[in-house]
Structures are given as C-alpha cells and as structure tokens.
Amino acid sequence: MIDNLAQQKMNVPLLDLKAQYAKIKEELEEAIKRVFDHQQLILGPEVGELESEIASYCKVKYAVGCASGSDALLLALMALGIGSGDAVITSPYSFFATAGSIARLGAIPVFIDIDPDTYNIDPNQVDDYLSGKSHYYSQGPFPSPSQVKAIIPVHLFGQCADMDAIMEIAARYQVPVIEDAAQAIGAEIRSQRAGSIGAIGCFSFYPSKNLGGAGDGGIITTNDEKLAERVRILRVHGGERKYFHSLIGCNSRLDTLQAAILRVKMKYLDSWTEARRRNALRYFQLFNEADSRYARLPIEMEGYRHVYNQFVIRVDNRDQLKAYLKERGIGTEVYYPLPLHLQECFNYLMYKEGALPESERASKETLAIPVYPELTEEMQQYVVDSILSF
C-alpha cells in the first residue's frame, strides 16, 4: 500500500461529527422539537430522565447534570468542602480544567507524575507524597501531606487510572477520590465502571467526547445520597428553594435541549464504543503487520475496558509527523503540548522544568490519530501507510 501512496490522497479528519449526525438526524430533530413544544428549557423532564439513564449506565445510585465537565469537577470539590489552603493531588498531564477547578477554590494543586505506559497518574508517587517520602520536599515549598484533602486521578484518553491502588492509598490516608472521567464514559476495570469507584465521578458531554452533546454539558455520579443532594443544591446557586440559599453555589444547570440530544445518543453509545475499540484493534494489527517500531502504540491494561476517546501514538519527531500528516489530509491533535505544572498561571506553585519528567516527555512525543466510529478500514490503512511512509 505504501508504494501507491504518492498517487492517492484522502481526507481523514480527526473526528467526523457530521457523519454521526447524518445517521441520527431525524431522531435528534424529533427530540429537539419535543423540548420546544413543552418549553421547559431549564431542568426540564429530559434532564431527570438522562440523569437516571447515566446513573444506571455508570452503575451508581445517583447522577446530577451540570453545565460542563469543568463545572462537574468544580461542583465535586465544592461538595466535598475543598477550599482555601487545602491541597488536592492530581495529574499534570490533563486538560486544564482538572487543575483549574482546584485553583479556583483557593486550593493548591499538587501535581504527581504519570505512568509512561498509560499516561495516568502513578499511584506509587501518590503514596510517596502522602507518606512524606516524596522528592518534592527538596524542590520547593510544597504542601504538607496533612493538607491533602482529595485526590483527582484522570482516566486519560479513555482508560481508567489504576483505581485499585489509588483507592487503597486513599483509604489508608482517609482522603476522598474524585474521578475525572471526562474522556472515559463506559470505561471499566473488571466490570467496575468509570465514575462508580471514587466518592464522585465527573463527566463531560463536550461534542468531541464519546457521548457528546451539541455544546457544553456535564454530569456528576456518586453512590452517596448526601453528596448528590449537595451537588443538586450547589448547581442552583446553593438554593434548596428559589430565593432561599443555604450554601454559596453557582449557576451550573444542564440545559434541557442538551439532555434531550444526549438521550438520543445514549442509545448508540455502546455500539459507538465498540466501533472505536474495533478501530483501535485494527490499528494494532496494521502496525504489527508492518513490523514497525517507529510508533509506540497505546497499552490497554489487563482487565480494563479502554473506550478510546483518543488513540494516541508516541513518536520521537512528533511535530514533523503532525505536519506531514496534515499535508496528507489526515487530522491529528496534540494532547497536551505543555503539562499543567509548567503553565504560566501556575508559576506560583514553584515547579521547575524537569520536575515531572514523564509528563514533560509525553507532552513532546504523543499524537492522537483518528479513531472515531465512522472511520473506514480504507481510511485506517491510509493513516498507517502515511505514518510509515514518513
């Protein structure tokens, strides 16, 4: 196939939402019409129905919709009482909202490096920090272990973090766990669903997610009735009744229109996920058949269900490959070009370059390639041939 590459050129976007929409257009339009007909646009019946469906899907007792995945993280921290002077352990190799939600409450993000194979937070280093053995203490004025009031592992790219180890550590130090499952709806560890393992799970319905809306949206999952009720109150300015406020919350409600759209898409989520998994398997087969060691492929942990929100390869000359694939009509994305501990807004935390080497290395070497459900075998062959021809 590579020999013919010069004679052909295909357009392979990183994600094709138009192809998804074309298949369910009539259902979506009917759902939207129903909302406009009843005009219950804020916390209408579709929101409660979606919350029940998500709770069942994620194998939890409660789900509470909110305005975005970022707000889900913020509300989770607020529900747990995290505030000024508290410290929260999380990953530096994630979308900004993971750490931004911590900082917005006046709490201190504590960044722990990742496992280079899974890109998820390294539990051993979490344990070292909480036990006071961490090398961080020789590098700067970092919070003491006693200040740590929560841990936020990120289920990056669609695969759960090592929650067995994280939950054991959290129990030992009596620290609650918030799962950042924005990219991982339906991901599993031995049949345990993402969002059902920690105290709270946080999901995003951003359009590029496996279950994406037509704009922003998010949801929180939990088995704790009191936490669920607290989130419900916090999302409406802290008011249990209109104009009466027991807490200081925020305005973070999931729109009824978004809930209606997501309820249509929920019916297809598992089939879309299995299509992503088939596409991932095909990539493994195509790269292995070519016997190429140029691109290091994702690792799916034993007993885990990876849902491949992204299929991320690792190469030494990432930026040159990205530019070449763009010329070939292939969409790619870099997640994430600058880890959070080196972002300008977090300079006050005193992290230096080299402090978290695996995250820094991943930020320079990783590249997401198309894996969306509508991707064809021909497209995948073209993507792999293009990478190998480079």
Q: What angle (nearest 5°) sits at the alpha carbon of residue 52, between those of residues 47 and 53?
A: 95
**Paired residues of 255 in beta bridges:** 42
Label residue 141 by pLDDT band (50, 70, 90).
confident
Distance CA 297, CA 63 (A): 34
Mean pLDDT of all residues belonging to the chain: 95
Which pLDDT does position 104 carry in this prediction? 97
Contact between 382 and 9 (Cβ < 8 Å): no
Tell me the average pLDDT across 237-263: 95
Q: What is the DSSP string of 98-124?
A: HHHHHHHTT-EEEE-PBPTTT-SB-HH
Please give the pLDDT value at position 3. Answer: 53
Q: Are 109 and 148 in contact (CB under 8 A)?
A: no
Residues 6+ apart with CB under 8 A from 267: none
Q: What pLDDT score does 161 carry?
A: 98
CA angle (143 as vertex; 355, 152 as ends), nearest 5: 75
**pLDDT at position 22:** 97
Rg of the Cα atoms in the chain: 21
- Has residue 82 got a pLDDT over 60? yes
Identify each DSSP E strand in the chain by its residue range. 62-66, 87-90, 108-111, 148-152, 178-180, 188-189, 192-193, 200-204, 218-222, 239-241, 244-245, 304-305, 311-314, 366-369
Residue 253, pLDDT above cutoff 70? yes
